[in-house]
Amino acid sequence: MLGRVAARGIAAFLVLLPHSSGGENTASADPILPAVTITSADTPQVAALDPAMPALELPGTAAEMAPPPVAEPFGLKTIPISNGDVLTKWRGVEADISAESTILARCRVSAERCPSVAKAFLAIIAAGAKEKGRARIGVINRAINLAIRPMSDLAQWGVIDRWSAPLDTFTTGRGDCEDYAIAKYVALREAGIAEADVRLVILRDLATKQDHAVVSVRLDDSAGAGGGGWIVLDNRWLTLVEDNEMPRIAPMFVLDQSGVRMFWPLTAPAPPMPPVASRSAAPAALASR
């Protein structure tokens, strides 16, 4: 589950948010998200401050607050964070991904020394690498959605929140949203997508009042029909969705090889429900079996 990690990550921004003088906030029913409330406009705000959370270092000048040179998903600005649970989790899984890359490299040299889970993951990467543009993204999204069965960290590991590298997830064949997202992030990079064009995104699903992890990939105009902008890969459906068509969400964090950044401002208007929202809310791995 992502709730506690994300809530602690945004708690340090309480002092920066304007105090609401009107309207009644309704506390989230999710016990894992004590620091997030949903307003009548379905916009997440910080409701409590974790005293153990150190203050985040924010840019101090207008120039430093300027948008980054590379456009981010959802068309929002981001600011880097230098501490907090989200960064700690991401650095930990990056170290695991690096260790697994050694296994993948060895597999490419000798199949005899390759574990079966690495062979399965490399097969998905190879299938994606044969395609281009949207087809490459779609092949990897579908294969990973179908390769992993949804299971919470609490049920699988006995802990509220654990982020697993791809081969770890493929070993058990189970995982929750961030495990799907991490596997897709690595597979896309290994299949030839440039590191500047792949993001792991933590967002708030306003319909379920839960935090959720997805991957966003920038598709160049030259990559094929319908190209341009960012595409979102979600374990809950097989369809590739444009970032501006995601139903009722508020982006919170973006993660990549450069670290962790927070979308700013924290609140964002919820777009209308697209046709994909009428699909089953169950993860694609279940809905397709």
How would you write the pLDDT of the chain (289 residues) with one tens digit per residue?
A: 665 555 555 544 433 333 333 333 333 333 323 333 333 343 333 222 233 333 344 444 444 555 444 589 999 999 999 999 999 999 999 999 999 999 999 999 998 889 999 999 999 999 999 999 999 999 999 999 999 999 999 999 999 999 999 999 999 999 999 999 999 999 999 999 999 999 999 999 999 899 999 999 998 744 444 446 899 999 999 999 999 998 899 999 999 999 999 998 765 444 444 443 333 334 443 333 3
Give 69: exposed, middle or buried? Use CB within 10 Å, 0-12, 13-18, 19+.
Answer: exposed
pLDDT, residue 71, reads 81
pLDDT, residue 251, reads 95
pLDDT, residue 68, reads 43
Is 3-287 in CATH node 3.30.465.10? no
Residues 6+ apart with CB under 8 A from 26: 37, 38, 39, 40
Exposure class string for 197-232: b at 16+ Cβ within 10 A, else e: bbbbbbbbbbeebbbbbbbbbbbeeebeeeeebbbb
Its sign, for the CA torsion 176, 178, 179, 181, is positive
Strand (E) or helix (H) holding 152: none
Its sign, for the CA torsion 105, 110, 111, 116, is negative
Contact 200, 254 (CB under 8 A): yes
Residues 6+ apart with CB under 8 A from 231: 134, 137, 216, 217, 218, 219, 240, 241, 242, 243
124, 192, 274 from 137: Cα distances, Å? 11, 11, 20
Query: What six digits make up the tokens of 158?
Result: 């006995």
Whether the bond between 69 and the residue before it is cis, its omega within 30 degrees of 0, is no
pLDDT, residue 88, reads 96
Q: What percent of the chain has pLDDT over 90?
A: 59
Q: What is the maximum span of the chain, computed from C-alpha positions, in angstroms?
A: 66
**pTM for the model:** 0.72
Q: How many CA atoms lie within 13 A of 212 on its CB side?
A: 23
